[in-house]
């Protein structure tokens, strides 16, 4: 089986256990990944509470998740009910129930156990959003002084933001008060996508080990004059765009991030 992003991140973390940046990168991938959570019973409809299968390997109660359906099937060797959710949503649900998490246990290189305290830390870290402030932009220039790990983290994170914006530019910025910093400017954000994009930028900072406040986020329409200035000096990130629309599909329970299931 082809290595998954979690396999790659786990291997890198395991090869350098003292490297905090690689460890943070693994947890970032865990939060971004679609994971398959084993259930006791089938969820009948979207928004219904779900009951995960709970195991106790001797270190506390955990639930089991897998990053590929084939790995889940290899573990259980039978048809079982499950729900597919992002690692971010699962961490939030488990933190409320004081449960740990077992990833790909015994079936993949990324086999990993995170106890209840670790899940609470992950949920808190993923749930921390940026502060909203207003400032008038006076000047933009090419970005300087930012570590490569942050550039790489932004590139990876924005590659998952399909259809949320057309593109983004990273620039050095100066506001009308004279304060200098860096700015990630999104162009052509989809209606209502601003919070998700701001959170993605914030997580790229957090999981790169960079102090919060090292980068601001702004949103511009494609026709605004400032976008020409951003294009001249900024480091450009092209966000993936969705494939052409197909016939409507039935939405599986938990697939709507605004209506995640509840654990029973």
Pair (144, 203) in one structural domain: yes
Query: Using one digit for the tens of pLDDT, what is the confidence trace for 225-242?
Result: 999 999 999 999 999 998
Confidence (pLDDT) at 177: 82
Examine the pLDDT at 207 and tell me if it is beyond 90.
no
Pair (99, 187) in one structural domain: no
Tokens of 207: 């999981």
**pTM for this structure?**
0.69
For the chain, the average pLDDT equals: 85
Asked if the structure places residue 248 within a domain, the reply is: no
Confidence (pLDDT) at 40: 87
Q: What is the C-alpha to C-alpha distance for residues 138 and 16, in angstroms, rounded to an integer? A: 43
Is residue 158 within a helix (H) or strand (E), and if so which, with residue range? helix 148-158
Pair (119, 149) in one structural domain: no
Judged by DSSP in three states, 199 sits in helix
**Long-range CB contact pairs, 19-23, < 8 A, 24+:** 20/209, 21/149, 21/208, 21/209
Pair (117, 181) in one structural domain: no
What average pLDDT does range 29-55 have in this prediction?
82
Residues linked to residue 180 through DSSP beta bridges, in sequence order? 174
Pair (193, 173) in one structural domain: yes
Instruction: Count structural domains, the chain.
Output: 2
Q: C-alpha dihedral over 73, 74, 77, 80, to 10 degrees?
A: -20
Tokens of 9: 């991140």
Q: What is the C-alpha to C-alpha distance for residues 58 and 148, in angstroms, rounded to an integer? A: 41
Pair (58, 165) in one structural domain: no
Pair (9, 123) in one structural domain: yes
Pair (191, 100) in one structural domain: no
Query: Using one digit for the tens of pLDDT, what is the confidence trace for 159-169?
Result: 989 999 999 99
Examine the pLDDT at 64 and tell me if it is beyond 60.
yes
Examine the pLDDT at 16 and tell me if it is beyond 80.
yes
Domain, as residue range, for 87: 5-127+256-263
Q: Which residue has the higher pLDDT, 80 or 43?
A: 80
Q: What is the C-alpha to C-alpha distance for residues 72 and 38, in angstroms, rounded to an integer? A: 8
Q: What is the C-alpha to C-alpha distance for residues 28 and 20, in angstroms, rounded to an integer? A: 12
Confidence (pLDDT) at 51: 87
What does residue 180 show for φ and ψ, rounded to 5 degrees? -110, 150
Query: Using one digit for the tens of pLDDT, what is the confidence trace for 77-97?
Result: 878 899 999 998 999 999 999
Pair (191, 111) in one structural domain: no
Residues linked to residue 9 through DSSP beta bridges, in sequence order? none
62-66 and 167-175: which strand pairing?
unpaired
Contact 128, 206 (CB under 8 A): yes
Examine the pLDDT at 43 and tell me if it is beyond 50.
yes
């Amino acid at each position: 089986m082809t290595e998954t992003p979690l396999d790659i991140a786990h291997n890198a973390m395991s090869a350098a256990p003292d490297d905090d940046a690689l460890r943070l990168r693994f947890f970032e991938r865990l939060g971004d990944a679609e994971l398959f959570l084993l259930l006791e019973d089938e969820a009948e409809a979207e928004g219904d509470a779900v009951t995960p299968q709970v195991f106790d390997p001797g270190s506390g109660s955990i639930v089991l998740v897998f990053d590929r359906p084939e790995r889940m099937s290899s573990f259980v060797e039978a048809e079982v009910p499950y729900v597919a959710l992002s690692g971010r949503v699962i961490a939030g649900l488990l933190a409320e129930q004081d449960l740990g998490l077992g990833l790909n246990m015994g079936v993949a290189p990324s086999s990993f156990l995170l106890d209840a305290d670790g899940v609470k830390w992950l949920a808190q870290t993923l749930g921390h959003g940026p502060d909203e402030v207003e400032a008038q932009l006076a000047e933009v220039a090419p970005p300087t002084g930012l570590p490569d790990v942050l550039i790489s983290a932004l590139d990876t994170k924005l590659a998952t933001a399909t259809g949320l914006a057309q593109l983004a530019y990273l620039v050095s910025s100066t506001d009308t008060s004279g304060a200098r910093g860096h700015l990630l400017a999104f162009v052509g954000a989809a209606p209502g996508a601003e919070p998700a994009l701001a959170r993605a930028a914030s997580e790229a900072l957090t999981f790169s080990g960079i102090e919060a406040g090292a980068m601001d986020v702004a949103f511009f329409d494609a026709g605004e004059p400032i976008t020409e200035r951003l294009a001249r000096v900024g480091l450009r990130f092209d966000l993936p765009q969705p494939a052409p629309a197909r016939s409507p599909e039935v939405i599986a329970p938990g697939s709507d991030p605004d209506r995640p299931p509840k654990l029973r």
